[in-house]
Amino acid sequence: MAAPILATVLLAFAAEVTAVTAGGVDVTAATQYGSVVGKYSRYDGVNRFFGIPVAATTGAANRFKEPQPPATWALPMTTIESKQCLHVGDSGVVGSEDCLAVDIIAPSNPLDLTGSPTVAAPGSYPVQVVLGGSLDPSLLKDDTYAGPGEKPVVTVRVTHRVGVLGGLSHPALRNGIDGNSYSGNWMLHDVLNALRWVQANIASFGGDPNKVAVHVTRENSFSKCGLSGFLVHYAFG
């Protein structure tokens, strides 16, 4: 049952990206690092924010290290394009090392008298976090997802490092951050960092941080062992 639900959610994002880039009304939300501007669709009453940074680039000095905080920004950041982490796809190498981000699809508040969209009140909706899909962008190619405008839930899709960049372990890579003397499991740290971000920020998008469910794909099944109880309340996959 969980697998079809996850596939449906993942398949939705290509249609959601199209909806954002095709137009819509600006809608703003606050995060701990700065404000972000997404798009509100009058068609389905949904706010969409794609590519919200949750960490600094994983390239250069940050490669093979735990995710580091991003630089804060003073002006509202336009967030209408999803990110992919660097990996080998069907057409060659795709993505970027500046990729630790989340996409958020959330029900909007009804338009006010000026016609301006806003985010829903904090805690209005439960949250589903989607892990996976980074290795196979073809999963994001359908428009069959009804969307949270018909299902009252805030959906968060997490991008994280994959392959060698996400899991290479070697004694020479031990980074000593916070006294740690291990290497590897970078993708797990990316996921945990994103879940911490959700706890700190999802209320700004109408989500309830006390009702967070995670959908896990096969390549992310390892993550279940690291999903701390104060970050996640349900896990499927």
Tokens 């959330």 correspond to: 106
- CA distance linking residue 86 with residue 135, whole number of Å: 9
CA dihedral of 77, 61, 97, 76, whole degrees rounded to 10: 0
Q: What is the pLDDT at residue 178?
A: 57
pLDDT band for position 145 (50/70/90)? very low
Q: Other C-beta atoms within 10 Å of 2: how many?
A: 11
pLDDT band for position 19 (50/70/90)? very low
Distance from CA of residue 170 to its chain's centroid? 28
Sign of CA dihedral 134, 139, 143, 147: negative
Domain count across the chain: 1
Strands 77-78 vs 35-41: parallel, antiparallel or unpaired: parallel
For the chain, what percent of residues have pLDDT higher than 70? 65
CATH number, position 17: 3.40.50.1820
Q: What is the pLDDT of residues 32-91, one digit of tens each?
A: 999 999 999 888 889 999 999 999 999 999 988 889 999 999 999 999 999 989 887 778
- CA distance linking residue 162 with residue 67, whole number of Å: 13
Task: State which residues form the domain around 217.
Answer: 2-236
